Amino acid sequence: MCGIAGYLNFDGKPASPVILKAMTDMLVHRGPDDEGQLVEGGLGLGHRRLSIIDLYPTGHQPMASSGGHLVISFNGEIYNYRELRLELETLGYSFRSESDTEVLLSALEAWGEKALLRLNGMFAFVLYDRRERCLLLARDRYGIKPLYYVTVGQTVMFASEIKAFIAHPAFKADLNPDGLIEYMSFQNFLTDRTLYKNVHILPAGNVLSIAMQGPVRAPRQYWDFQFSERETGRTRADYLEELDNLFVQAVSRQLVSDVPVASYLSGGLDTGAIAVIASRQLPEMRTFTIGFDMSSVSGLELAFDERAKAERMSALCRTEQYEMVLKAGDMERAIDPLVWHLEEPRVGQSYPNFYAAKLAGKFNKVVLSGAGGDELFAGYPWRYFRASDNHDFNDYSALYFKDWQRLVPSDAFPALTAPLDGKHQTDPLAVFRSVFAHHATELARPEDYICHSLYFEAKTFLHGLLVVEDKLSMAHSLESRVPFLDNNLVDFAMALPVSHKLANLGQVAGHDENLPGPKTSVYSQRSQDGKVILREAMARYVPADVASGAKQGFSAPDASWFRGESIDYVRRVLVDRRSRLYDYLDYDVVCRLVADHLEGRANRRLLIWSLIYLESWCRQFLSGSGWSATQQRARAALR
């Protein structure tokens, strides 16, 4: 797990080793173990290394191929690299290291871009081809590892994190109005936009080719999710047995490491099953849990502290268990460093994730995460009710779009964004529908719409979770691995009939995404639907009540805290006309929406978190007083 940073001058102006080192130094948290830079003509290619596989200097990057014409800066892990190495050896390749980086480099030399479909892992890389005089940027199928790029004049920059661009004198961070509209619509980005003007994230499952003299071509997709009903005549027992085998294989495959591997552990199904299987192979494994102070909490949020459940699972797995308890003031303490590391807001209140990574990073370099299980196996049953009640694709997409407007009521949106004064061209509904651009819209059965919903959530919601997972773990020099996103397991889940994921589709009712706890109060009166076959398969590993338990998200009790112990902090940040976010959002509208929450008329916990995040982001990254401090931080590396 590492950090990539670099740039290319199309006009041939020599790249500066000083600027390149400053860019890579901005990513030291991603790779404190080693660093490397290549400067060749107008190209500067840099790397920061967190040593996980092959801890010796033979894994140093940027790494050149044996013939020297390919050079790579690679972030990630290729879990099937040993199998690929054996195959490459039959083709005459020899290896001087034990690293997966060298195997990846040889695979790209042997098979070109087709090698990407052979990789089972998580990755982002920049490949420099000296013969063809071009760069190839690539990102893994699911978007586990991020990679950004921006063109400024005759220079294209690329990096694992946007903050590396700050160290380049040509870059200036400006707010992207279209990105702000997109984020305020969905609490996420559904396109390749970011909050930064002209900065793009390379979409998951895409490659980007850049000639040494330019231009930057449009990204090309090499893989995409394909959820579909594929009846095979197989029995439930057949599916159960295959799922069991694939899940055990996925967890085992992701234990490959030359340093100890740990696991997050909640009281739920996904991390519990991962921990059970991993601990059978790692008898001294550590597990990490975040709990919450419940002294001032009420209602549904009382169920948020899962420490007792996690301790029970730890006893079952016989792991070395570590816990941290968050209190109301911990969000305020974490917000500025969290925003600095996350850079752009994505789904949900992510500060508990920040503390979880901080805890795990004190003891380990590698941790297993349960991300992906819900998106693959329909773990959010309350979200799929539109599939039971629509007339056609347009009706479905319009209704489903309303469900994903997570932050602001539709009638308040125009007034909220009035300060942008027409500086954006984004139509949120068009953005929403664009996610389905490559999929058929003539759908007949509810199951077809369910598959579309799963596709949408894997492309957008899961992607947002993965970006958060990467940034906040790497903030603490911690590699986070996601066994549910093993290629074979994903292929199985996409082809699995919906009837094996959802049992009570006809009973689904509406919901409010702001509701902080299990959505079962509005879904079939506490139904344990969703992930049906996964629950059945994992009942072999976890207690029956865990396998059949209601979905519980990883959230702090912010609805209660925002009205109680954190109310002064919320008012201090958001009821201040001097706050930077009011350069872009209407003060009166924000105050009215926030008051709705504080006075108990509505639950706007997601909006309040997003506004607090945006204020910190404006202060830290945009031009002005905050920008000068950030510039000084980056420019200090140039001296």
Q: What is the pLDDT of residue 65?
A: 95
Q: What is the pLDDT of residue 213?
A: 93
Q: What is the pLDDT of residue 632?
A: 58
- The residue ranking higher by pLDDT, 623 or 586, is 586
Provide CB contacts within 8 A for 197, sequence distance 6+: 173, 174, 175, 176, 179
Q: What is the pLDDT of residue 526?
A: 38
pLDDT of residue 373 exceeding 90: yes
Do 486 and 249 form a contact (C-beta atoms < 8 A)? yes
Within 254-327, strands assigned E span: 261-264, 286-292, 320-326
**Is residue 249 classed exposed, middle or buried when 0-12, 13-18 and 19+ CB atoms within 10 A define those classes?**
middle
Q: Could you identify the residue written with the tokens 């009281």?
A: 267
Sheet holding 366-368, edge to edge: 320-326, 286-292, 261-264, 366-368, 479-481
Beta partners for residue 7, in sequence order: 44, 157
Distance CA 593, CA 428 (A): 20
pLDDT digits (tens, 9 = 90+) for 94-146: 999 999 999 999 999 999 999 999 999 999 999 999 999 999 999 999 999 99
- The residue ranking higher by pLDDT, 439 or 81, is 81
Nearest one of 303, 254, 258 to 274, comparing CA atoms: 254
- The residue ranking higher by pLDDT, 113 or 403, is 113
Q: What is the pLDDT of residue 524?
A: 37
Per-residue CA distances from 63 to 23, 100, 371, 455 (Å): 18, 11, 31, 36
Least confident of 6-15, 25-34, 317-326, 378-387: 378-387
pLDDT of residue 505 exceeding 70: no
**pTM, 2 dp:** 0.93
DSSP H/E element including 121 = strand 121-129
pLDDT of residue 280 exceeding 90: yes
Pick among 3.40.640.10, 3.20.20.70, 3.10.20.90, 3.40.50.620: CATH of 236-377+477-504+527-547: 3.40.50.620
Give the mean pLDDT of 443-469: 91
Q: What is the pLDDT of residue 440?
A: 65
Q: What is the pLDDT of residue 300?
A: 60
pLDDT of residue 551 exceeding 90: no
The CATH architecture to which 2-162+200-221 belongs is 4-Layer Sandwich (3.60)
pLDDT digits (tens, 9 = 90+) for 244-260: 999 999 999 999 999 99
Q: What is the pLDDT of residue 506?
A: 57
CATH 3.60.20.10 residue window(s) in the chain: 2-162+200-221
162 torsion bin: left (phi>0), alpha (psi -120 to 50), beta (else): alpha
Distance CA 478, CA 474 (A): 5
CATH 3.40.50.620 residue window(s) in the chain: 236-377+477-504+527-547
